[in-house]
Amino acid sequence: MQTNNNKIFLRGRLAAPPSLSHTNHGVEYMLLPLSVCRLSGAEDTLHVIASREQLSALPPLDAGSPLTVSGEVRTFNNRSGVGSRLVISIFARSLSQEEGEDENHLELSGTICKPPVLRTTPLGRTICDMILAANRRYGRADYLPCIAWGSLAYRCGAMEVGGRLALEGRLQSRIYTKEIDGQTQERTAFEVSIMSLAGEEEYIDPNA
């Protein structure tokens, strides 16, 4: 199985104090909700996962603390029936507290695993939705929803399942409402906003 590129760099501030996410093989992993501003002024709140040991190397963190993260985007299927079905988070490889402008940069490559969907918004903007499967080193894969706009959406809409794609973009959050048992619930979805296709082999047609 070919390993794909999956690197994300984030700089922002904690939206809330760290809290326990889960324990795996005796290691405690903490959830760090990181708020990162876009150029437009909107904010994305992204879920960073780091071990308690990683946090011990930093000063105590609280809401508003600056945080810089390097890592990769991970996904898993939530079968509990509570919350979103696809859970997307950032697995931290390194943490620091560098001051600087907010930053959200993702380099990603993988295989298109569902037919891209080209559509038009109510405001007349053209967008393309697609799912990219990025293989990890150890036989697993992360399935990432991606979205492209404008002329880039037309290019992505012409791609085929099985094609290999390399891109640069950002991981963003989007709040939406869903009606369950007659009650409206507010949920957060995460998706990759494609800024550009990247690399010498930005798209490899499976039929070429």
Percentage, residues of the chain above pLDDT 90: 72
User: Does residue 1 carry a pLDDT above 70?
Assistant: no
In a domain, 1, yes or no: no
User: Does residue 80 carry a pLDDT above 60?
Assistant: no
44, 12: one domain: yes
CB 45 within 8 A of CB 102: no
Number of domains in the chain: 2
pLDDT, residue 176, reads 77
Residue 35 sits in a domain whose CATH number is 2.40.50.140
User: Does residue 187 carry a pLDDT above 80?
Assistant: no
19, 94: one domain: yes
87, 126: one domain: no
Domain that holds residue 42: 6-101
pLDDT for 101-119, tens place per residue? 999 999 999 999 999 999 9
37, 85: one domain: yes
Domain boundary among 45, 71, 101: 101
3-class secondary structure, 55: helix
Burial class (CB in 10 A: 0-12, 13-18, 19+), 39: exposed
Q: How far apart are CA 108 and CA 100, in angstroms?
A: 24
* pTM reported for the whole predicted model: 0.89
In a domain, 47, yes or no: yes
Query: In this predicted model, which residue has the larger pLDDT, 91 or 185?
Result: 91
Beta strands in the chain (DSSP E): 6-14, 19-24, 27-37, 43-51, 66-77, 86-96, 103-112, 117-120, 126-135, 141-149, 164-180, 183-197, 203-204
